[in-house]
């Protein structure tokens, strides 16, 4: 059941990205280009996506467990640290350079060709490098 829900959610997420137009890097860069022919579509995508999720969090707050019996993820500590800010700066810069963020990069692999595959492999490589560095850091005495 958990596997089916994961797959259904992934499929719906991918189709939503496709319908929204966010799998087109030129459209994402059009949103980030305030000094050019600004394309506001991403705001509608974000608004449309956040609305049902606000409802979902309300339902989660009132229920003890998810449908499959799992507990809900606890709220993260409201800690704003340098890692969060620096990581978001790097992400925003890469996002603007290619017009891809992780979801749309995966969702468009079926037609994004060498460009999309190169981005996705480099992104996966970056994630693996980060995981290795994080593992090494956690082994060192604080």
Partner 1 sequence: MFAMIPHDWIAGLLGGLMIGASAALLLLGNGRILGASGILGTLLAGEDPARERLAFVAALIAAPALAALAFGAPAFGQARELPLVVLAGLLVGIGTRMANGCTSGHGVVGMARFAPRSIVATLVYLGAGFVTLFLVRHLLGAI
| Residue numbers 103-142 binding partner 1 by CB under 8 A | 103, 105-112, 114-115, 118-131, 134
CB 97 within 8 A of CB 33: no
Give the count of residues interacting with partner 1 (CB under 8 A).
Answer: 114
Q: Does 3 bind partner 1 (CB under 8 A)?
A: yes
Q: Does 62 bind partner 1 (CB under 8 A)?
A: no
Q: Kindly give, in sequence order, each residue whose CB lies less than 8 Å from that of residue 79, ignoring residues fewer than 6 positions away.
A: none
Q: How far is the CB of 131 from partner 1 (least distance, A)?
A: 4
**Of 99 and 142, which has the nearer Cβ to partner 1?**
99
Q: x/- contact string, 20-59, with partner 1 (CB under 8 A)?
A: xxxxxxxx-x--xxxxxxxxxxxxxxxxxxxxxxxxxx-x
Measured CA to CA, the distance from residue 20 to residue 41 in angstroms comes to 8
Pick from 62, 68, 136, 139 the residue near partner 1 by CB under 8 A.
Answer: 68
Q: Does 75 bind partner 1 (CB under 8 A)?
A: yes
Q: How far is the CB of 142 from partner 1 (least distance, A)?
A: 19
């Amino acid at each position: 059941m958990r596997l089916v829900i994961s797959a259904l959610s992934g499929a719906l997420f991918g189709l939503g990205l496709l319908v929204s137009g966010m799998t087109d890097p030129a459209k994402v860069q059009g949103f980030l280009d305030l000094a050019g022919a600004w394309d506001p579509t991403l705001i509608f995508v974000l608004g449309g996506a956040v609305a049902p999720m606000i409802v979902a969090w309300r339902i989660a707050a009132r229920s003890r467990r998810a449908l499959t019996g799992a507990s809900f993820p606890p709220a993260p500590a409201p800690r704003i640290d340098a890692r969060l800010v620096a990581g978001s700066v790097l992400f925003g810069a890469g996002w603007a350079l290619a017009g891809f963020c992780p979801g749309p990069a995966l969702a468009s692999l079926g037609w994004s060709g060498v460009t999309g595959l190169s981005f996705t492999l480099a992104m996966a490589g970056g994630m693996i490098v980060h995981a290795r560095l994080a593992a090494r850091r956690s082994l060192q005495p604080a």
